[in-house]
Amino acid sequence: MTGRRTDLEYERELRKLREQLLLMGAKVEELIASSVKALVDRDDALARRLLVLDDDIDHLERETDELCSKILAKRQPVASDLRAITTAMKMVTELERIGDLCVNLCERVIELGSDPSADALGGLPELAERVQQMLRSSLDAYVARDATGAREVIAQDRTVDEAYARLSRRLLGAMLQGPSEVSRGLRLQSIAKTLERIGDHATNLAEMVIFMVDGEDVRHLGHSGGSPATSDDTERSRR
């Protein structure tokens, strides 16, 4: 955009929307990072404290949706403004679901208690680091309106899917060694799946950034090799 907008109030509304989305993104990033720390440190007290943080994210989702509706009704936006607003409405949904998945993760951490030790977590911390990086890069691409950066995020989803598949096979092998391994194995498997789904949501965010910047819809083109995250595959219903 080159020129200064004539309607300054409209400009302020759009700026507020961007800031609100970034605030929500920051809270989700923080929640993931803390959830992973609770997992790696075997800190179920931290995991319990994190459960309530999701409420903030839910609240921000409602506020952002309301702001988008108001702008649509008042301004009837077109072109890049329209894409920015419709994208924001979808992005908050993705971020809210990531928040829900973090709660799933914390619940599994609480169930695990002190079992197993950090050494037995296999590749989970590495997988967690990758999906955190994907989310961070998606939000960076949103801020910088960087479609190229967003495409790089999408390319990373395949790596995450492959890492998840390897981890999943390893956990299955461990569970086959005896019934005593099954309970722990299932919980670790659930955590791995949760992280993989967060990667899918980060990919969705990156696809939305590309649409916002270039007006190009790259969804469902099979670039990621994995299935897109949907509402019915989250382990718990939306909060």
Partner 1 sequence: MSPPLALSRSVSQPPPRQPDRLTPSPTAPPRPPEKLRTLGLRAWHGKTEVLKGVSLQLLERRVTAIIGPSGCGKSTFLRCLNRLHEVVPGTRVEGKVLLGGVDIYERGTDPARVRGRVGMVFQKPNPFPTLSIRGNVLAGLRLQRSSVRDADELVERSLRQAALWHEVKDLLGRSGSSLSGGQQQRLCIARALALRPEVLLMDEPCSALDPIATAHIEELIRELGESYTTVVVTHNLQQAARVSHDTAFFYLGELIEHAETDALLTKPRHQKTEDYITGRFG
Give the position of tokens 């994208």.
Answer: 87
- Please check whether residue 106 is in contact with residue 47, taking contact to mean a CB–CB distance below 8 angstroms: yes
72 binds partner 1 (CB under 8 A): no
81 binds partner 1 (CB under 8 A): yes
- Please check whether residue 38 is in contact with residue 191, taking contact to mean a CB–CB distance below 8 angstroms: no
- Contacting partner 1 (CB under 8 A), which of 48, 56, 58, 77? 77
Judged by CB, which is closer to partner 1: 26, or 155?
Answer: 26
73 binds partner 1 (CB under 8 A): no
Judged by CB, which is closer to partner 1: 2, or 180?
Answer: 2
111 binds partner 1 (CB under 8 A): no
Restricted to residues 31-60, the positions that interact with partner 1 (CB under 8 A) are: 33-34, 36-37
User: What DSSP designation does 6 have?
Assistant: S
Tell me the torsion sign for CA atoms 46, 42, 34, 180.
Answer: negative
Restricted to residues 123-162, the positions that interact with partner 1 (CB under 8 A) are: 132, 136, 139-140, 143-145
Range 122-132 burial, b when 16+ CB lie within 10 A, else e: bebeebbebbb
Range 136-171 burial, b when 16+ CB lie within 10 A, else e: bbbbebbeeebbebbbebbebbeebbebbeebeebb
**Rounded distance between C-alpha atoms, residue 7 and residue 156, angstroms:** 40
213 binds partner 1 (CB under 8 A): yes
- Contacting partner 1 (CB under 8 A), which of 56, 58, 63, 83? 83
Q: Please, what is the minimum distance in Å from the beta carbon of residue 82 to partner 1? A: 6
4 binds partner 1 (CB under 8 A): yes
- Chain residues in the site for partner 1 (CB under 8 A): 1-7, 10, 15, 18, 22-23, 25-27, 29-30, 33-34, 36-37, 76-83, 132, 136, 139-140, 143-145, 213, 215
